[in-house]
Amino acid sequence: MALTLHHWRNGSAYEGIADRFADVTNPATGEVTAQLALAAESDVNEIIGAAAAAFPAWRDTSLAARTRILFRFRELLNERKPELAEIITSEHGKVLSDALGEVSRGQEVVEFACGIAHLLKGGFTENASTRVDVHSVRQPFGVVGIIAPFNFPAMVPLWFFPIAIAAGNTVVLKPSEKVPSAALWLAELWKEAGLPDGVFNVLNGDKTAVEGLLTHPDVDSISFVGSTPIAQYVYETAAAHGKRVQALGGAKNHMIVLPDADLDLAADQAINAGFGSAGERCMAISAVVAVGNIADELVAKIKERTLKLRTGDGTRGCDMGPLITAQAQQRVSGYIDAGEKAGASLVVDGRTVKPDAEGEGFFVGPTLFDHVAADMSIYTNEIFGPVLSVVRVDSYDEAVKLINDSPYGNGTAIFTNDGGAARQFSNEIKVGMIGINVPIPVPMAYYSFGGWKHSLFGDSHAHGTEGVHFFTRGKVITSRWLDPSHGGINLGFPQNA
Ligand code: NAD
């Protein structure tokens, strides 16, 4: 009998009414490792209720006390991150080193949030009008909902909850039902760090849980990360229910290689960014745009590197792990079929991969297409798998047009040694995160992460100062302490004197 996973409410595991379950699977072996309880509406209400009840006391806990807990959480996470990485690999499939990298990037947001006292400081103006002072503060919202995708079981939730909690909010995190254990592990870590019960809660579930969060009157904000259609639905539904929303969606990221680029560097980085985490990253490169006469040489270099990659179980020191589910494996293979039919040249075929793994894992090997055209489904759709397409263009302008015409605008990169071209590119490209000779330009925690166009609905990006703003509300206080000069009754609009 497989393990049963439940929710986390008020500082301990919470079973709820548990009448629906989903399989949790190890994608490298196909083995079902746990049954996950999917929340019913009453569970959603119970868990949101716990977060709402914990809010007043947490809001009023001093910044010094809140910060001490964050530091303890950071220390515990740092010491024990290999444990979390193993959990991620066992449910997501990404190789262990990649899982560890994800935790470290999430930890950086905890470190940023440890400085929350500085980030929450308001302004003060003395004598704005005669003997009138004005000051501003930023206050926590209340209950914040976080809805996460499967591809970063730890890092994506960590983009949000350290800042939300540090600012004085309470959290309900709904992880992806495919990878629930990282969130439950993090909940236990918070408990160990001394976070009061009810401040961090985990709601496991599917559409019922999401809808509960989007519509419940006690939830004040929603931070969502996932595919574009769901992001748009989440944005519209939560906004219609009066919530502040940031909904990060899907992506299709291009890497432009100019004729003067270092082609070995470009080929290495195309491999890292195209096939890392089996292409299941929102910042993965899926289209390499080769400008001018370098295409043959660049494709040869990428091919040579692709053929050397070892695909298999992420615990065995392989380069690339499996896809998340059997459906994802079929979807990605289907795209490869479609690319071939559409006339793209299949340079390396991942469908025939022989993975280093036991059992029936969900593998597709690294796949390389050349001569991909902008109307082929392998180019237009987010494949979310290890399929790299090379598109050949004659000029820089054509490459820029391709990117600017894309409905997505998450990340992009340019490879060149021409500083002027790189500068022009960063200026005119309609994308939120740009790399110059850097293929996956995920910003540091003190900057903000987010795309443009259909890669983000809402106006706040994740973490950095935008994250602090998202999880707080501004207030401005104008005060005058009575003194002999007050002017009596005056019904006119207040003016400064
Ligand atoms: P998904 O949209 O299927 O799921 C995301 C979340 O929404 C999950 O918690 C899931 O339970 C929930 N959900 C799924 N279907 C739903 C429905 N019909 N109604 C309500 N809730 C629903 O995404 P995924 O497959 O878990 O993750 C991959 C996607 O996430 C990719 O498109 C990827 O680009 C995107 N992503 C984007 C970013 C970013 O920063 N922009 C980061 C990571 C992942």
The overall pTM is greater than 0.75:
yes
Q: Tell whether ligand 1 has an atom less than 6 A from the beta carbon of residue 433.
A: no
Torsion of CA 74, 77, 80, 81, to 10 degrees: -130
DSSP letters, 65-98, are: HHHHHHHHHHHHHHHHHHHHHHHHHHHH---HHH
Inter-residue contact 74 to 110 (CB < 8 Å): yes
CATH number for the segment(s) 253-436: 3.40.309.10
Domain boundaries, the chain: 3-249+455-478, 253-436
Inter-residue contact 325 to 363 (CB < 8 Å): no
User: 446-451 — which CB contacts under 8 Å span 24+ positions?
Assistant: 446/112, 449/159, 450/246, 450/248, 451/248, 451/249, 451/251, 451/282, 451/408, 451/409, 451/410, 451/411
Which residue puts its alpha carbon closest to atom 35 of ligand 1? 226
Mean pLDDT of the 348-367 span: 98
Is residue 192 exposed (0-12), middle (13-18) or buried (19+ Cβ within 10 Å)?
exposed
Handedness of CA 407, 412, 417, 419 (dihedral sign): positive
Structural fold of domain 3-249+455-478: Aldehyde Dehydrogenase; Chain A, domain 1 (3.40.605)
For the stretch 164-179, pLDDT in tens is 999 999 999 999 999 9
| pLDDT of 1 higher than 60 | no
Residue-level pLDDT at 484: 67
Which residue puts its alpha carbon closest to atom 6 of ligand 1? 149
Number of neighbouring beta carbons within 10 Å of residue 419: 9
Is residue 215 exposed (0-12), middle (13-18) or buried (19+ Cβ within 10 Å)?
middle
For the stretch 437-456, pLDDT in tens is 999 899 999 999 999 999 99
Q: How far is the CA of 86 from the centre of ligand 1 (A)?
A: 22
Q: Tell whether ligand 1 has an atom less than 6 A from the beta carbon of residue 331.
A: no
Q: Tell whether ligand 1 has an atom less than 6 A from the beta carbon of residue 176.
A: yes
Q: How far is the CA of 64 from the centre of ligand 1 (A)?
A: 36
- What confidence tier does 98 reach under pLDDT thresholds 50, 70, 90? very high
For the stretch 139-160, pLDDT in tens is 999 999 999 999 999 999 999 9
- What confidence tier does 362 reach under pLDDT thresholds 50, 70, 90? very high
Which residues partner with 48 through β-bridges? none
- What confidence tier does 485 reach under pLDDT thresholds 50, 70, 90? low
Q: What is the CA radius of gyration of the chain?
A: 25
Alpha-carbon distance of 372 to 275, in angstroms, equals: 18
Residue-level pLDDT at 403: 98
Task: State the DSSP code for 356.
Answer: B
| pLDDT of 74 higher than 70 | yes
Which residues partner with 25 through β-bridges? 32
- What confidence tier does 494 reach under pLDDT thresholds 50, 70, 90? confident
Alpha-carbon distance of 89 to 177, in angstroms, equals: 15
Which residues partner with 23 through β-bridges? 35
